Structure 1
């Protein structure tokens, strides 16, 4: 399993936890995921880095507002799409 596949699986798992109302467990998993994913974007183009920054900002906004369903959507759809497009190149 490649790193991007692992990250995608972790993002989807995190999203599932948020949807199940397990926000504390999901928040911890998301923190670990973000810490692991973040360095992989350092070597990407400026456009990809800006997309990552935007998605990350939206995720943190949702977390701050305790909007777990929107956060789950960002993890499962936006982040997975960004990982698929940028890390598999």
Structure 2
């Protein structure tokens, strides 16, 4: 499994945990995912880095507001799409 595929699977699994109400476990998984993904985004063009920072900010706002369903959507759809669009280059 490539790094990209691994990130996608981890993001989808994290989203599932949030949807199941396992927010503590999901929060820890999300931290691990962000730490793992960050170096890959550091190598992308600045416009992609800005999209990543914006998305990360939206995800953290959802986490702070305990809006687990919106956070799960960001992880499963927005992050996965950004990963596929930018890291498949």
TM-score range, shorter chain: over 0.9
Instruction: Determine helix, strand or coil for the equivalent of 1:61.
Output: helix
Unaligned regions of 5+ residues in structure 2, if any?
none
The superposition leaves residues 1-60 of structure 1 with CA deviations (integer Å, 9 ceiling, x where unpaired) of: 110000000000000000000000000000000000011111110110000001000000
> Residue 88 of structure 1: CA displacement?
0.7
Q: Aligned pairs, how many?
A: 89
TM-score (norm 2): 0.99
Q: Which runs of 4+ in 1 moved over 4 A?
A: none
TM-score (norm 1): 0.99
- What is the match of residue 70 of structure 2? 70
- What is the match of residue 21 of structure 2? 21
Q: Structure 1 CA distance, aligned partners of 2:85 and 2:19?
A: 25
Q: Structure 2 CA distance, aligned partners of 1:54 and 1:27?
A: 19
What CA RMSD, in Å, does the superposition of the two structures yield over aligned residues? 0.4
Unaligned regions of 5+ residues in structure 1, if any?
none
